[in-house]
Amino acid sequence: MNKRRLALTIALTCVGLLLLGSFTAPERLSPVSGAEYALPMEAPPFGADARGRSLLGYALQGAQIVAGPAFLAAVLVGLLATLGGLLRCAGSERLVTIVNGFREVVGALPRMVVILVVALLTPPEWRGLGVLAVFWAILAAPGAIDEASAVASRIGGANFVEALRAHGFTRPRIYLYHIVALNLRPVIVRHASETLMQVVFLEVALSYLALASDEPSFTHLESFHSWADLLYMGYTSLILDVPTMHALLLGLGLVGVTAVLSVSVTASARAR
């Protein structure tokens, strides 16, 4: 029980950090002459980039870019996985078949193409990770639905519901507590937290692809900087003598916060 509480506390702390960063992000980053590539000791807390802009600003703006969409995508996948599991217990084979077929087709679509089309269709002033994260969640949900459905099937599906009904439990209790809370919870939470991480990685990947394709950013306004910018700034320090290791470490640390959140949420929801 203590481990569960500890995991939950860590998760809530991470959520708090991300939300705090998200709400305190500056609108613009101002360059400071003379502070180019400043290290954290020289320009606390995290140093500066090639133009003297504070990396703290990058961290905060990046949090604003990813936090909301990542949570949204996680919740969406969780809901869809829940629905998938419940549908398996509902007893309607026809509906299950139709949903399965649809799910398989959606799951087979090349995700990055769908994401790219959505990004290109979004008007420039609305461009952001939110819409893309929703579509990513829809495309990634089939795997979660599949697994939740398999778990529901293994506990007996509609037969399980009927058995508990015979014991006198109400349907809402059966579905929400016995099926979702007791059996599907680990699967749902694991998939939701994986999706949360995937959205962060998606943002990094899309930022790079936009840069490589000479396209405007797909995930944020041009005046904003994301965690991906920290990573691109920093990766060259691994192979060349460029003084940007502090940017790389900060970027990885921020991704790490999201990973810790994901792991601790999964741990707190583990089956007893």
Provide the residue type at 271 as one letter: A
239 is a contact residue toward another protein (CB under 8 A): yes
Which region, judged by CB under 8 A, interacts with another protein, from 14-22, 74-82, 143-151, 170-178? 143-151
Calculate helix-pair angle for 227-239, 55-90, nearest 10 degrees.
110
- Between 44 and 216, CB nearer to another protein: 216
Q: Per CB under 8 A, which of residues 163..222 are in contact with another protein?
A: 186, 190, 194, 197-198, 200-201, 204-205, 208-209, 212-217, 221-222
| Coil, helix or strand at residue 105 | helix
First vs last C-alpha separation in the chain: 9
- Closer to another protein by Cβ: residue 170 or 211: 211
Which amino acid does the sequence have at 157?
G
In terms of CB distance, is 146 or 175 closer to another protein? 146
With CB under 8 A, what is the number of residues at the site for another protein?
72
Query: What six digits make up the tokens of 171?
Result: 């349907």
Place of tokens 């937290």: 193
Does 34 participate in binding another protein (rule CB under 8 A)? Answer: no
Neighbours of 6 (CB within 10 A): 13
- Give the DSSP letter of residue 20: H
Question: Nearest approach, Cβ of 170 to another protein (angstroms)?
Answer: 25
Please report, as residue ranges, which positions from 113 to 142 form the binding site for another protein (by CB under 8 A).
Answer: 113-114, 116-117, 120-121, 124-125, 140, 142
Query: Which parts of 39-58 interact with another protein (CB under 8 A)?
Result: 50-51
Binding flag, residue 86, another protein (CB under 8 A): no
Alpha-carbon distance of 171 to 156, in angstroms, equals 15
